[in-house]
Structure 1
Amino acid sequence: MRIALGLSYSGSSYEGWQSQLSGNTVQDQLEKALGKFANLPIRTLCAGRTDAGVHALMQVVHFDTDLQRELPSWVRGTNAFLPRDIAVQWAREVPAQFHCRGSAISRRYAYVLLESPVRPSAETGRVGWVYRPLDGAAMREAATHLIGEHDFSSFRAAQCQAKTPVKTISRIDLSQRAGTGSSYWRFEFEANAFLHHMIRNIMGCLVAIGQGQQQPGWLAEVRDARRRDAAAPTFSPDGLYFLGPVYEDLYGLPTRTAAYDWLP
């Protein structure tokens, strides 16, 4: 049978999702834990590979197995062997045609950014940081230039393996939670798919606009240039969270986890 798992993790201590010779990746940790629980090797596929330092609130993976276990046991049993910063949130049996990546209608990310004259401390590694004030109206206006289907080559990492740079962004939402002398900004992105470093490269541009270094219309120029050197430098991975994929209702998979409720 095919099992899907919802997984959350803090990426600060890991070299990204994808398995490496070092063994210090989220996939390596998950497969090691599954192997100990099942007492046999289990290989997983994920909905979206995250980079080093990037977090996930609901990464979705799937694997095939002949092992018969109650679904709650896949959660509790696997978590017993996982590090404290990685946890399976749910388990579901899915049809054989389900594919965690191929069946996804869209993917969602959030970037949490601290605007403060003082660097983060308790939240270090979990938020990006800027010390200059940001203009929310300018960033929102700029973001409209990225909505729809475009060639996002200007926001694509050199090592990106995607077959095409053409993607469709359906939503970019910005919200601000103001504090005493500081603010937390939350940027939400939803698209059919994302290129390698695409969101972090967009964030670099939005921050440049928010700080007044560029005008909102500059983002359209960057988009149309289709050259990576036209955009701002890649922004920090610290505040980036993979919120998870979106699937058709017929699969009956959860759309959020408890981790959603604490993220600013």
Structure 2
Amino acid sequence: MPRYALKIDYHGGPFAGWQRQSGQASVQEAVETALRRLEPDAPGIAAAGRTDAGVHAIGQVAHCDLAKDWDPFRLSEALNFHLKPAPVAVLAAARVPDDFHARFSAVERRYLFRLIARRAPLTHDTGLAWRVLNPLDAGAMREGAAHLVGYHDFTTFRSTLCQSKSPVKTLDEITIEEREIPHGREYRFHLRARSFLHNQVRSIVGTLERVGAGSWSPDDVKAALEARDRATCGPVCPPDGLYLTQVSYPEDPFA
């Protein structure tokens, strides 16, 4: 069966996450349902990241096996027709080798978290960013984030439900952008690693927000990391502002 990679864009708000769940809407189910409108016997698909409820993606990657030898452009167009009106779109499709796996072949994942500080409630960005009331100290947050970059035991920053065999990961990059917006400020957290633990990004951003608000010092982040204790983590921020932006492979299937 020919194997195809799909680059997928979705708004996570209506879904219980990527992964198919009994009785709840999922992105995986939406894509698989569209695939089975094309080939009723199409098997299930696998994705690079199992995003949680409410988390978005602009660069999720999944792979599927189909009986027919599809032209990739026609495959993406057909899937987008059958995905309507769900807030899910196939940005690109590509034929890939049989040993390509969306999850296990990936060598890097990138996430973005959007945080908006303003007094007024969000309107256009409702469900697309986390709102706090007061401006944050971006310099202090960058200083706190520096303690997390590198090879560490991230027990403090992973969910107690995390199924990863080890809490040890290498976090390659955290950068924090600050930009002025009408009547407020937006902070964009960019995180890059080969892989992430369950709730790791949201735990890190929630902790750094406490630093930016002045409730924690940058060195408190280091102490929390070294404690290797989930109880020492800051608040886990809501999923609204989190986006899976890019998944990289040794060879870009969509190039």
TM class by smaller structure:
over 0.9
Give the Cα–Cα distance (whole angstroms) in 2 for the partners of residues 177 and 165 of structure 1.
33
Over aligned residues, Cα RMSD in angstroms? Answer: 1.1
- Aligned mates of 1:113, 1:216 — CA distance in 2: 19
- Which residue does 1:247 correspond to in 2? 249
Q: What is the CA-CA distance between 1:63 and the residue it aligns to?
A: 1.5
Tell me the residue number matched to 2:220: 218
- Aligned counterpart, 1:56: 57
State the AA in 2 paired with 1:168: T
Runs of 4+ displaced beyond 6 Å: none
- Match in the other structure for 1:201: 203
Once the two structures are superposed, what CA deviation does each residue of 1:122-154 show, in whole Å capped at 9, x if it has no partner? 210000111122001000111100110101000
| Per-residue Cα deviation, 1:139-174 (whole angstroms, up to 9, x for no partner) | 011110011010100011111111111111111111
**Alpha-carbon separation, structure 2, partners of 1:216 and 1:253:** 40
User: What is the TM-score of this pair, normalised by structure 1?
Assistant: 0.93
Distance 2:246 2:210 in 1: 27
Please state whether the residue corresponding to 1:18 is helix, strand or coil: coil
The answer on whether the counterparts of 1:247 and 1:253 sit within 8 Å (CA) in structure 2 is no
Alpha-carbon shift at residue 23 of structure 1 (Å): 4.5
Q: Which amino acid aligns with 1:133?
A: P
2:76 is aligned to 75
Q: Measure how far apart 1:120 and its partner are.
A: 0.8
Residue 29 (structure 2) aligns with: 28
Of 188, 191, 198 in structure 2, the residue corresponding to residue 189 of structure 1 is 191
Q: Residue 13 of structure 1: SS of its match in structure 2?
A: coil
Q: How far apart are the structure 2 equivalents of 1:157 and 1:170?
A: 20
Could you list the runs of 5+ residues in structure 1 that have no partner in the other structure?
255-264
Which residue is equivalent to 2:162? 160
How far does residue 71 in structure 1 lie from its aligned partner after superposition? Answer: 0.9
- Cα distance between partner residues in 2 of 1:124 and 1:157: 25
| Secondary structure in 1 matching 2:243 | strand
Mapped to 2, the partners of 1:166 and 1:100 lie a distance apart of 22
Number of residue-to-residue matches in the alignment = 253
Identity within the alignment, %: 38
SS at match of 2:63: strand
* Post-superposition offset of 1:230: 0.2
Please state how far the C-alpha of 1:18 moved relative to its aligned partner: 0.4
Calculate the TM-score normalised by the size of structure 2: 0.96
2:110 aligned with 1:104: no
Which secondary structure does the structure 2 equivalent of 1:43 belong to?
coil
Residues 70 and 23 of structure 1: is their aligned pair in 2 closer, same or farther, counting only changes over 3 Å? farther
- Match of 1:11, SS state, is coil
In structure 1, C-alpha distance between the alignment counterparts of 2:154 and 2:237, rounded to whole Å: 16
Q: What code does the residue aligned with 2:115 have?
A: L
Q: Is the 8 A contact 1:143 1:206 kept in 2?
A: yes
Q: Distance in 1 between matches of 2:169 and 2:108?
A: 11
User: What stretches of structure 2 of length at least 5 have no aligned partner?
Assistant: none
**Displacement after TM superposition at 1:181 (Å):** 2.8
Correspondent of 1:144 among 124, 143, 146: 146
Tell me the amino acid that sits aligned with residue 225 of structure 2: R
For the 8 Å contact 1:23–1:29, the answer to whether it is kept is no
Q: Deviations over 1:149-203 (max 9, x none)?
A: 1010001111111111111111111111202330111100001111111111111
Cross-structure match for 1:135: 137
Distance 1:247-1:118 versus aligned 2 partners, 3 A rule: same
1:171 aligns with 2:173: yes
Cα distance between partner residues in 2 of 1:102 and 1:171: 21
1:10 equivalenced with 2:11 (yes/no): yes
